[in-house]
Structure 1
Amino acid sequence: MTRDRVPHILILGGGYVGMYTALGLQKKLRRGQARITVVDPRSYMTYQPFLPEASAGALEPRHVVVPLRRVLRKCDVITGRITSIAHGDKAVTIEPEAGEPYQLEYDILVVALGSIPRTLPIPGLADNGIGFKQVEEAIALRNHVLDRLDIAASTTDEDVRRRALTFVFVGGGFAGAEALGELENMAQYARRYYPQIGAKDMRWVLVDAADRILPEVGDEMGVYTVEELSKRGIEIRLKTFLESCVDGHVVLSKGKPFDADTIVWTAGVKANPVLADSDLPIDDRGRVSCAATMRVAGLDDAWAAGDNAAVPDLTDDDPDALCAPNAQHAVRQAKLLAKNIAATLNGGQPKEYRHKYVGSVASLGLYKGVAHVYGVKVKGFPAWFMHRTYHMSKMPTFNRKARVLVDWTMALLFRREVVTLGRMRMPREEFRRAATPKRSQRDGSN
């Protein structure tokens, strides 16, 4: 059978679900049984649970990403953005990095587009906010924080100094609490190289609209987290909303306004908005409606999993319960999804996804953490160690596991790197200055 006549499996998204589904299919399907294509705006998969450690310098950023073309050797990988899905026509529109958009046809569709930050129309947020979902954002935030220390240590303007040393994180879930905990820990460590900055000069603020943070680890561990962060001088503002941050002037629903150079937005996620304009069935939260087998509701040739999929939670007593959009479900759904698609291609039946949520672990900085696993509550160093151990086991590929382990080992033997490479955002600035002709001098020379 020729390549053009075999079924074409198109996987939208190269994140954890997309990459592991493709990896499973290329292992399970016979040579020539199907053609597999993966489309993603990035040429790599990011392991998001390690982003806080990458931003704090505990891990090399390149070690928390997996190159898609390296691991998906039997798949076609397209670096581009999906702008529309027309399943009735079995075609999607792809916008590549360069060149004109084009359509790509398929026989079997896998929707693994994941989620994007859930933002609100807050004045100034789009211009001043920093996200924390991609490795580029983690690197930029690390450089930005260290750059603020450089500015504060080098200025004589007290207002500039106070603004530079004020860091605001909006959202008290995993992303917000872990990012704040790791970066505050890094900044306090870096302060030893800045004698001009005192222990209490930095101001770290965590804002959340709910009455607690880290709800995934339970009430008791959530209270412990607030107490732990408060002991480190971090301000916890619960039941509080960000109302405005125009030009870095932060206005909260409670308390006095203040200025900050750093505003990090981690207040939840939502399904990729391209799904709303597709002809796929979606629920009221914009996720693809699925059966427990992860087949798209009412369709035999479309599948979905991960953050952008509404998959029934068969372990819950509520018949309408859906799997939460988190890494724990995504890891397991991806592996079963590959088995289900392979089974249908071989004339078999897909199996229903069933997984009892085992709990959560979170890092709050070096040697600090909280965990609630199988009903057991753990805090401090043991929880931090559990966090590292669990996510090390889930890190894709042996290559990346080994590199992460080397990074951690080196961190035990040597001091933490606190150099900023913020100037990498402007790699041509110095050359531009040198190449720009100076204005004529008063003597009339050219």
Structure 2
Amino acid sequence: MPKILIVGGGYAGFYTAWKLEKWLRPGEAEVTVVDPLPYMTYQPFLPEVAAGSIEARHSVVSLRRHLKKTNVITAKVTGIDHASKTATITPEAGEPWQFDYDVVVVTGGAVSRTFPIPGVADQAYGLKTIEEAVAIRDRLLTNFDKAANLPAGPERDRLLTVVVVGGGFAGIEVFAELRSFASALLEFYPQLSFDDTHFHLIEAMGRIMPEVSLPTSHWVIKHLAQRGAEIHLDTQLTSAVDGRIELSTGETFETDLIVWTAGVMANPAIVRTSDLPVEERGRIKARPDLRVGDEDDIVADAWAAGDIAAVPDLTGGGVGGYCVPNAQHAVRQGKLMAKNIVAVLRGEEPKDYFHKNLGAVAGLGIGSGAFQSGKIAITGLLAWFAHRGYHGLAMPTWERKFRVFWGWWNNFWLGRDIVSLSAVQNPRAEFERFAARPKPAGEVAAPAAPAKSEAKKPAAKSAKQVEKAVAAK
């Protein structure tokens, strides 16, 4: 039975395994998914998780629960030697081992791409994982708690200032969602006013959201400005040391929450440790049919898709001729790749990936959104419903869909949960604070001094002393 190894359990990897379970005949192939995390994260929901609109666990999909015919290994792939068809698997606990495969599918996704700006690596949060989204939410809530006990001044301003770097879809969505969340929180903090909160988005280009038309992007800027948010276009972040923001325009201010969304890059931990061909931007070369290679050469039994792969965009709408790294492509590429793998196993020809962008939809906080499809643009409440409807239905598995929609329904009547669980990042701190510890070895307690009443009493005589006294008499 041929062994299929899927490296990465994100969109493309999960959907490939999920559809292989459906289309493979019993005994036709053995499928294994390796990922450091035991779940797939639905990343379009991360802004809403950061704003408390979606429960964190509802925006992830358990690999073991939903891939019932697939071997799931929670570990890292730290090397791919396709020449010998072996992969090095390194678990969190235990020794690495070699995994022999017949077909490899590389879907390792992307990570945040940063620049060597002072302070960013030490101060900023990314927005690629569910843990980052939860940490952003808890930081904002905790800062409100702290600020409510402070008088007006620089320290309170610092706690209530939020900075987002990057004006793409992810940046605008998390920026708008956090602005909406902060406005809603003021109801519970009478010590604070709307004017105490400050939101800044920094974008190096001259516009935001390149996926939508220019008029739509202008509407978003105007809409956010009306809600008290400031967008800095044609502006670069030059320093963020200790939370002190310095911009290329000369403006400076301080913040306690920086979110970095200015670009992604193919997962270097996988790309740099494999012998598969890589293009100039660090992505694995892929053909239109998702096999690894280019127009002239095909790497047999190797496939790639998603953000880690440079897949040609046959519609002509991609950037540099390739599909842009987003969920819309990754999901569809995963589905097609499963069909193509099955086709090749059965001696049939694979099909090319062709998908024309259906449009873009963004949530901009409760009751507001932006939608663009071709020349059709919708903004406001209707676009917000389109955003929730599309992503709610796009969430894989009915179990996850139900949890997401049920959470939205509860929030409609009960409001968003505003409890910060920042202590969960160091859960043993309180226990350690009061825990009793054994005394160091060799430390002996000093003998207690006798009481005054006992010190005046004569010492008791031993048996031999009594015998001597009797003999003397």
State the distance in 1 between where 2:342 and 2:29 align: 10
Give the C-alpha shift of residue 157 in structure 1.
7.5
State the distance in 1 between where 2:20 and 2:438 align: 60
Q: 1:317 to 1:437 in 2, by over 3 A?
A: closer
Give the C-alpha shift of residue 219 in structure 1.
1.1
Residue-by-residue CA offset, 1:201-231 (whole Å, 9 max, x unaligned) = 0111000111111111121111111111111
State the distance in 1 between where 2:375 and 2:122 align: 42
Who is 2:114 aligned against? 119
Q: Secondary structure at the match of 2:73?
A: strand
State the distance in 2 between where 1:107 and 1:435 align: 53
Who is 1:201 aligned against? 196
Give the partner amino acid of 1:266: T
Who is 2:262 aligned against? 267
State the distance in 1 between where 2:375 and 2:104 align: 38
The farther-off stretch of 151-160 and 374-383 is 151-160
Q: How does 1:119-138 map to 2 (within 5 A)?
A: 119-138=114-133
Give the C-alpha shift of residue 437 in structure 1.
6.4
Who is 2:415 aligned against? 415
Who is 1:337 aligned against? 337
Contact 1:43 1:68 in 2 (8 A): yes
State the distance in 2 between where 1:190 and 1:312 align: 45
Who is 1:316 aligned against? 316
Q: Secondary structure at the match of 1:301?
A: strand
The farther-off stretch of 412-421 and 181-190 is 412-421
State the distance in 2 between where 1:73 and 1:108 align: 20
State the distance in 2 between where 1:86 and 1:113 align: 16
1:283 partnered with 2:279:
yes
Who is 2:399 aligned against? 399
Gap runs ≥5 in structure 1: 1-5
Q: Secondary structure at the match of 1:113?
A: coil
1:180 partnered with 2:165:
no
Could you state the TM-score of these two structures normalised by the residue count of structure 2? 0.89
Give the partner amino acid of 1:379: T
Give the partner amino acid of 2:288: A
Who is 1:67 aligned against? 62
Residue-by-residue CA offset, 1:6-45 (whole Å, 9 max, x unaligned) = 1110000000110010011111111111111101110000
State the distance in 2 between where 1:155 and 1:84 align: 52
Q: 1:385 to 1:319 in 2, by over 3 A?
A: closer
Q: 1:318 to 1:239 in 2, by over 3 A?
A: closer
Residue-by-residue CA offset, 1:299-349 (whole Å, 9 max, x unaligned) = 120001111111111111899711111111112111111000011111111
Who is 1:47 aligned against? 42
Give the C-alpha shift of residue 352 in structure 1.
0.6
Q: Secondary structure at the match of 1:419?
A: coil
Contact 1:19 1:68 in 2 (8 A): yes
Moved over 3 A (4+): 317-320, 436-439
Residue-by-residue CA offset, 1:280-306 (whole Å, 9 max, x unaligned) = 111111111111100001212000111
Who is 1:32 aligned against? 27
State the distance in 2 between where 1:237 and 1:101 align: 47
Give the partner amino acid of 1:49: P
Give the partner amino acid of 2:350: P
1:299 partnered with 2:294:
no
Who is 2:360 aligned against? 360
Who is 1:19 aligned against? 14
Identity level (%): 50
Who is 1:235 aligned against? 230
Give the C-alpha shift of residue 103 in structure 1.
2.1
The farther-off stretch of 147-156 and 38-47 is 147-156
Q: Secondary structure at the match of 1:378?
A: strand
1:246 to 241, 249, 253: 241
Q: Secondary structure at the match of 2:196?
A: coil
Who is 2:251 aligned against? 256
Gap runs ≥5 in structure 2: 440-445, 449-473
Q: Secondary structure at the match of 1:197?
A: coil
Contact 1:359 1:375 in 2 (8 A): no
Contact 1:12 1:40 in 2 (8 A): yes
State the distance in 1 between where 2:155 and 2:432 align: 27
Who is 1:3 aligned against? none
State the distance in 1 between where 2:386 and 2:396 align: 18
State the distance in 2 between where 1:223 and 1:61 align: 32
Residue-by-residue CA offset, 1:154-189 (whole Å, 9 max, x unaligned) = 234833211111110001111111011111111110
Q: 1:230 to 1:438 in 2, by over 3 A?
A: farther
State the distance in 2 between where 1:154 and 1:426 align: 23
State the distance in 1 between where 2:216 and 2:273 align: 40
Q: Which structure: larger Rg?
A: 2
Contact 1:108 1:301 in 2 (8 A): yes
State the distance in 1 between where 2:318 and 2:408 align: 42
1:192 partnered with 2:181:
no
Give the C-alpha shift of residue 100 in structure 1.
2.2
